[in-house]
Amino acid sequence: MKKSIIKLTALLILVVLPLPLFLAAVERIPDQYSNTYVAAFPEKYERLYSTEGKKIVFIGGSSLPFGLRSDLIEAELGGEYSVINFGLYATLGTKFMMDTAKDAIGEGDIIILCPELNTQTYSLYFNPTAVLEACDGFSPMLSGVGFDNKLSLCYNYYKFAFNKMEYSRTDTAPDPVGIYRSDSFNEYGDLSVERKNNIMNNGWDSNMTVTTDSTLLDAEFIEYVNDYVAFAEKRGAEVYFNYSPTNTLAIRSSAAARERFQAELSDALDCPLLGDIEDYLIDERYFYDTNFHLNSSGAI
């Protein structure tokens, strides 16, 4: 019996001990994703957590970096609030952005949740691979991720780690060409690259139509938002739900259907809607490369 226990203990040591060593080795490899679009996340996170005083925090997907001019908002408010553009990429998931911003919410803050009008962003969707790449070299930022998502990160870590090691070994770290790079962002977290015109064929992306109906109202997502609202209010903050700017050519719902959707959304949420959905349906000339990404004129 004693020998069996010794053998089992030795086996466990052989299996478990290499894991911390493996993690430590991977963490020592320089960040391989620093030039990518998602690598803007650490700077957004740092701005959110280092800003003192009252904040307006916009949380959502890529419509925010393309659609906000944070400097203009701050100027309009006379410096009373610092504006935090905490939106980056729908593939990370709205829940991830909400979770990682949660501990920064303080007294007097205004939180504006504005996911794109899409079933993925109006859900608890989470992409572990994209999140690991966004946080490469900055793993403490993952502390705010929920337990269920942390399990998903663990399941996917080995694949991420081996990709990272291969990039390092072959000196082939991703280095995108064009606007989707970390150096396209300014200090606010807004995209600062000039986007003069709508570059989409016929002014819109026909592969991304927008339908506003009850299919967007995911019950788990709505419940999660309402729990988030309760948490923020306990900290003395206000929460509003907002729409993303949306290309009018992409809309496939009638005005009556949009009105019903807005009424159902308002009834389901424990926070106010910020404005009317019709105000966020914008002419195609103000968009850039998707039905949610504004060009420079649109952002103004």
Determine contact, residues 242/286, Cβ cutoff 8 Å: no
What value does the mean pLDDT take over residues 95-119?
97
| pLDDT digit string, tens, across residues 47-67 | 999 999 999 999 999 999 999
Map out the domains of the chain with their CATH numbers.
31-299 (3.40.50)
When pLDDT is cut at 50, 70 and 90, the band that residue 9 belongs to is low
Whole-number Å distance between alpha carbons of 111 and 225: 12
Question: Parallel, antiparallel, or unpaired for β 110-113 and 82-87?
Answer: unpaired
Virtual CA dihedral for 132, 134, 136, 137, nearest 10 degrees?
-140
Q: What percent of the chain has pLDDT above 70?
A: 92
CB 109 within 8 A of CB 82: no
| Average pLDDT, integer, range 205-215 | 93
Those residues with Cβ within 8 angstroms of residue 299's Cβ, 6 or more apart along the chain or in another chain: 66, 67, 68, 69, 190
pLDDT of 14: 45
CA distance 226 to 220: 10
Q: What is the pTM of this model?
A: 0.91
**Residues 6 or more apart from 9 whose CB is under 8 A from it?**
none
Provide the pLDDT confidence category of residue 153 given band limits of 50, 70 and 90: very high
